[in-house]
Amino acid sequence: MITSFSRTVPVLFGPGASMRTGLKVKELGAQKVLCVYDQGVKSAGIADKIIDNLKAAGLQVVIFDGVKADPPDTIINEAAVMANEEQVDGVVGVGGGSTMDTAKAINLLLTNPPPINLYYVGSGREHKPGKVAVMIPTTAGTGSEVTPISVVSDTATNSKKGVIGPATTATLAIVDPELLLGLPPQITASTGMDAFAHAAEALTSGGMNPMSDVLGEKAISLITQNLNKAVKDGSDLAARTNLSFAALIAGFSFSDSLTHWGHAIAHTIGAKYHIPHGVGCALALPAVMEYVADAVPGKVRQVGLAMGLSLDENLSPAELGGAVAEAIRQLNREVGIPSLKDFKIEESSLEQLIDGVMTDDCFMFGPKRASAAQILGMLKKVYEY
Amino acid sequence: MAKVYRVNVKTKTIAREELKEDYRLLGGRSLISKVLSEEVDPTCDPLGAGNKLILCTSLLAGTTVPAAHRISVGAKSPLTGGIKEANSGGTFATYMARHDIKMIIFEDLPETDQWHLLKIGKDGTPELVPAGGYAGLNNYDLVEKLKGQFGDSIAVISIGKAGEMQYRNSSLQNIDFSTGYPSRANARGGLGAVMGSKKIKAVVIERNETPHVFQYADKERFEAARKKFTEVIINNAGMQWLREIGTPALVGITGSVAIMPFRNYSGGFNDKLSSITADQFMNNIKSRGGKTGEPCQAGCVLHCSNRYHDPDGKYVTSGLEYETIALCGSNCAIADLDIIARMDRLCDDFGLDTIETGATIAVCMEAGKIPWGDGEAAIGLIKEMMEGTELGRLLGQGTMATGKALGVKRIPVVKGQALSGYEPRNLKGTGVTYATSPMGADHTAGLTLEAPLDPLNPLGQAAVSSMLQPIFAAADSLMCLFAWFAAASPDTIPELLAGVYGGEWDFNKVIDIGRQSVLREKAFNAAAGFKPEDDRLPDFFTTDKAPATGSVFDIKPLELDGVLNY
């Protein structure tokens, strides 16, 4: 079959890379940028370091520090008004997925009429490229620094919507593992499992993209070997570097092949119960691997092999799915991923999630179709964890 | 409650019934699937006594919603051997609604060869009238003669000689609102043959002076919803192309990316595309006194129909649509709109599905019967069908029968029905719809042209088709598809239904009308003997690369099996 390898965000990678932020932004032609971050990044001292770096290079900096988790459309629209009033010619996003998605969505509104809601996937409305957009992740998970997607929480419908296109694709990603050294263990774990899910879902989606497969396998391998180390010792720079690289290539991996049911489940659980995205992904993934094993047994095997499992060649798809699912559950336990029960969710409420899963954009990209009853079956397995 | 006329063609009796309470929230495709599921043995002979021919109006017929009057025809299809619903605009459903008739069901087979009309008088009285003087006429002459007998204020749905001869590619035709000619077709699946098997030449409805007054559950709520719905359609800039040009506007769009079929679904680019695109079409229309922007039914605000004249300024046909240009034109490598218009006229007159006919002619070209692109020879094949020559009778059995008899390897059909105007290797989501729709290959079961996916990438295509099929089925149950897509949103259609029928509606409840219909259709087909292996495209689409794109249809069987599995 014919596939496309279309993701080409340039990346500056390595410990200390963020020290070149000002230099690179200036090289890209910007003079006045909006620096986007949240209070966590500010209190960790990372935001000030980046702002100082930008200013030292002679750039004017306007600040937007009001990013919220699961970024709401309203905040993006308000920040864009401010950015346009200030006539910035670029954005610098410093933070996790919510921050980078906010920054990329603002970038879209620098060159396209508001509001962001006009550009949701399925609207049929395309957008023009934005201005200079430099993304600097402070977690190893989302991959948003290299994906063309911004995920926005639509406040009118209380659902997550995707915006995809040139303006929601960074001009440059600056990945500096040193920025992660102070990240708390539970965030390290959940964001790491988000990246793991990107890789495993990209491998097993309907996309069948060999570049995604190669990148996904390596990401899975690096995360399996390094996540627990970084959770136990947040200052382990080698582990942080491996995880940053894994998240980066997992982001490239799912840009072409796309994530599927695990993310559809995580988005739905996240919207309803406000469970961290990475935790939702980590909990959903084992059941999803079991369920798709009959459709893509070879790919599920690749996930398992990348995790270092020895898998007998004669395993049936069901046995294969079971073995890989159990290994992921084991990794979840090692790094301290909590269960749905820990969030005081009742098993009887799972049925209410089915519609949300089936209408999530990611639901489309599985390697086969799933009925409502089958989704409920998966959700029950997620709950059992 | 609305009326149902049940006509037994054997006993020549007509029972008048009330619409059942549990049919009240069904119409069009969904009502057809319900009645067929409950009344027709799926294993019956489509042209035998066990099959029934059902005519019914769309769910919003009788209301003042724009473009709400579609006439659906249903039966077990003699072409596919499965369930079939085909609908059209025109004037027939409007006249039914004026008389508050929801449905007409024809049952059994007559014992003699005598032809009949069903006539519904001004006072709504149904009557079977001997129609010996009308048999043998094609639709244009038939309608003219009927108007001579019953006056101009009639609606007619009829078969031409193709239906009389029980051709499996035969249509029912009904009168276009703007031109007064029988150019609106319930085309697909050979339902004309079912009408022919029952020896019913036409149904004629006389216009009543005082139409039935529709009882709205909440008139105020309805009026507010109708106003909004109408405004959305009128102000929808994205539909301007339909108003100005109509569906022929698609020719350039799909042709330029090799989605429009060319040379019997070769998958290549049409090298004479510019001869049949909208520019040429509009030139011909404007320079010869033709017209676009015409409504096919009363009360429509979209106005997507047209009338096409020859170089001498004389009327040739009306409702010349994209699918006809794609199949009778591009797919046969015919690059002359005048020829295509003549083919359209002959098909409407004789009562043939232009899609099936174009696909059948292309298969003949592939077999070397006539040269590629030879328009006059193509017209000659249609005339052979009309004359009933040996070859003509074979062609009348459709693309699959013709292809097999002529030893053609590439026969573009699913469940025995020819693919419509979209190449499935280059628009994969529509390929999924072709493969999995209980109707056989048909774009109105779930066209994915507007889906936000790369049409050449298999990713997400099965899901999109699976999601769209109930939506299209819901649209085909309620109103005209174009009106639906011009205005459908969670706060328009549910509000309309709440105003018309009462109760609380949301979009999911509306779509569920379509979803349940598709599930009934699947169940009917399964009982008729269809297996998952029937939900596949012909092998050549999965093995031969489309020259324009290098693409094959690579949606896996396992994915196809999961489509319509809700």
Residues A276 and A256 in one domain: yes
For residue B19, give the amino acid letter.
L
Confirm if B39 and B8 have CB atoms less than 8 A apart.
no
Q: What pairs with residue B83 in β-bridges? A: B76
Chain A residues touching residue B561 (CB < 8 angstroms) = 368-369
Instruction: Answer yes or no: is A60 within a domain.
Output: yes
A365 close to B (CB below 8 A):
yes
Q: How confident is the model at residue A35 (pLDDT cuts 50, 70, 90)?
A: very high
pLDDT at B373: 98
Structure tokens that stand for B273 in this block: 């595309």
> Minimal Cα distance from A163: which residue of B?
B452
Note the pLDDT of residue B552: 97
Residues A175 and A249 in one domain: no
Task: Please list every residue in chain B whose beta carbon sits closer than 8 Å to the beta carbon of residue A367.
Answer: 556, 558-559
Q: Which residue has the tokens 């350039």?
A: B252
pLDDT value at residue B211: 95
Per-residue model confidence (pLDDT) at position B472: 98
Considering the domain architecture, whether residues A144 and A218 belong to the same structural domain is answered as no
Percent over 70 (pLDDT), chain B: 100
Total beta-carbon pairs less than 8 A apart between chain A and chain B: 66
Residues in CB range of A52: below 8 A, 6 or more apart: none
A122 burial class (0-12, 13-18, 19+ CB within 10 angstroms)? Answer: exposed
Nearest CA in chain B to A371: B566
Min distance B492 CA to chain A CA atoms (Å) = 17
pLDDT in tens, A226-248: 999 999 999 999 999 999 999 99
- Residue range A151-168: mean pLDDT, rounded: 89
Candidate from A2, A205, A370 with C-beta closest to B459:
A205
* Residue B542 CA from chain centroid, whole number: 27
- On whether residue A117 sits in a domain, the answer given is yes
Tell me which of A180, A203, A237 is where a domain ends.
A180
DSSP B509: H
pLDDT at B439 over 80: yes
CATH number of A335's domain: 1.20.1090.10
Reported confidence tier of residue A217, pLDDT bands at 50, 70, 90: very high
Q: Average model confidence (pLDDT) for chain A?
A: 95
Alpha carbon distances (Å) from B73 to A6, B56, B183, B377, B522: 47, 7, 16, 32, 18
Residues A120 and A97 in one domain: yes
- Is A5 among the domain residues? no
Query: Please, how many CA atoms are within 13 Å of residue B201, restricted to the half-sphere of its CB?
Result: 24
Could A258 and B459 be called an inter-chain contact, meaning their C-beta atoms sit closer than 8 Å? Answer: yes
CA-wise closest residue to B522 among B489, B562, B551: B562
Identify any residues that bridge with B315 across adjacent strands, giving them in sequence order: B309
Q: Which helix (H) or strand (E) holds A230?
A: helix A210-232
CATH of domain B260-422: 1.10.569.10
Nearby residues of B356 by Cβ (< 8 Å), 6 or more positions away: B79, B169, B187, B188, B190, B398, B399, B417, B418
What pLDDT is stored for residue A8 in this prediction?
80
pLDDT for position B232: 92
Q: Which of A212, A369, A371 to mutate to test the interface with B (most CBs of B within 10 A)?
A: A369
pLDDT at A122 over 80: no
A274, A320: one domain = yes
**pTM of the predicted protein model:** 0.91
> Do A48 and A111 fall within a single domain?
yes
The answer on A175 and A130 residing in a single domain is yes
Q: Could you say which of B454, B463, B556 has the minimum Cβ distance to residue A364?
A: B463
Shortest Cα–Cα distance, B300 to chain A (Å): 25
In this prediction, residue B239 carries a pLDDT of: 87
B559 contacts A368? CB cut-off 8 A:
yes
Read off the pLDDT band of A57 (50, 70, 90).
very high
Task: Report, as an integer, the average pLDDT of B37-54.
Answer: 98
Q: Could you tell me if residue A4 is inside a domain?
A: no
Residue B435: HSE in the Cβ half-sphere, 13 Å Cα cutoff: 34
pLDDT in tens, A286-339: 999 999 999 999 999 999 999 999 999 999 999 999 999 999 999 999 999 999
> At the topology level of CATH, where does B3-206 sit?
Aldehyde Ferredoxin Oxidoreductase;  A, domain 1 (3.60.9)
Domain range holding A76? 11-180
B488 has pLDDT over 80: no
Pairwise CB contact (< 8 Å): B559 & A367: yes
**In this structure, are A160 and A193 located in the same domain?**
no
Interface of A with B in 30-49 (CB under 8 A): none
Q: Is residue A328 part of a domain?
A: yes
pLDDT at B489: 76
**Residues A224, A169 share a domain:** no
Locate tokens 């012909």: which residue? Answer: B538
Q: Are A66 and A109 in contact (CB under 8 A)?
A: no
- Please check whether residues A203 and A115 belong to one and the same domain: no
Cα-based angle B214, B225, B448 (whole degrees, multiple of 5):
105
Residue type at A262? G
Range of lowest pLDDT (A108-117, A155-164, B513-522): A155-164
Q: How far apart are CA B91 and CA B157, in angstroms?
A: 9
CA distance, residue B258 to nearest chain A CA (Å)? 17
Strands (E), A166-262: 172-175
Give the residue from A144, A159, A180 where a domain finishes: A180
- pLDDT of res. B398: 98
Do B562 and A368 lie within an 8 Å CB cutoff?
A: yes
Residue A3 lies inside a defined structural domain of this protein: no
* Across B527-554, average pLDDT: 97
- Do A49 and A148 lie in one domain? The reply is yes
Number of residues in chain A: 385
SS3 content of chain B, % helix, strand, coil (to 5): 40, 15, 45
Q: Which ipTM did the prediction report?
A: 0.83
Contacts of A2 in chain B (CB under 8 A): 456, 549-551
- Residue A132: CATH number of its domain: 3.40.50.1970
Indicate if A39 and A163 belong to the same structural domain.
yes
| Rounded-to-integer distance, Cα B317 and Cα B294, Å | 13
Mean of the per-residue pLDDT values for chain B? Answer: 97
Interface with A, mutate which of B459, B506, B515, B555 (most A CBs under 10 A): B459
Selection from B23, B16, B3 nearest residue B501 by Cα: B23
pLDDT of residue A124: 75
Q: Which member of B463, B556, B561 has the closest CB to residue A363?
A: B463
Query: What CA–CA distance (Å, rounded) separates B159 from B138?
Result: 7
DSSP secondary structure string for all residues of A300-353? HHHHHHHTT----TT--HHHHHHHHHHHHHHHHHHHTPPPTGGGT--GGGGGGG
Task: Give the pLDDT confidence of B383-411 residue by residue, as tens digits.
Answer: 999 999 999 999 999 999 999 999 999 99
Task: Return phi, psi of residue A72, to 5°.
Answer: -75, 145
Which neighbouring-strand residues pair with B4?
B17, B103
Q: Where are the domains of chain B?
A: 3-206, 260-422
Write out pLDDT tens, residues B297-312.
999 999 999 999 999 9
C-beta separation of A287 from A326 below 8 A: no
Residue with tokens 């988790």: A69
Q: Report the domain count for chain A.
A: 2
Q: Do B456 and A2 touch (CB under 8 A)?
A: yes
Measure the CA–CA gap between A15 and A17, rounded to whole angstroms.
Answer: 6
Q: Could you read off the pLDDT of B223-244 as tens digits, one per residue?
A: 999 999 999 999 888 889 999 9
Residue B13 CB coordination number (10 Å): 11
Task: Return the H-helix or E-strand segment holding B559.
Answer: helix B557-562
Q: Is residue A89 pLDDT above 90, yes or no?
A: yes
pLDDT confidence of residue B490: 75
Amino acid at B564: L
The amino acid that residue A300 corresponds to is V
In a domain, A15, yes or no: yes
Chain B residue numbers touching A363 (CB-CB < 8 A): 463
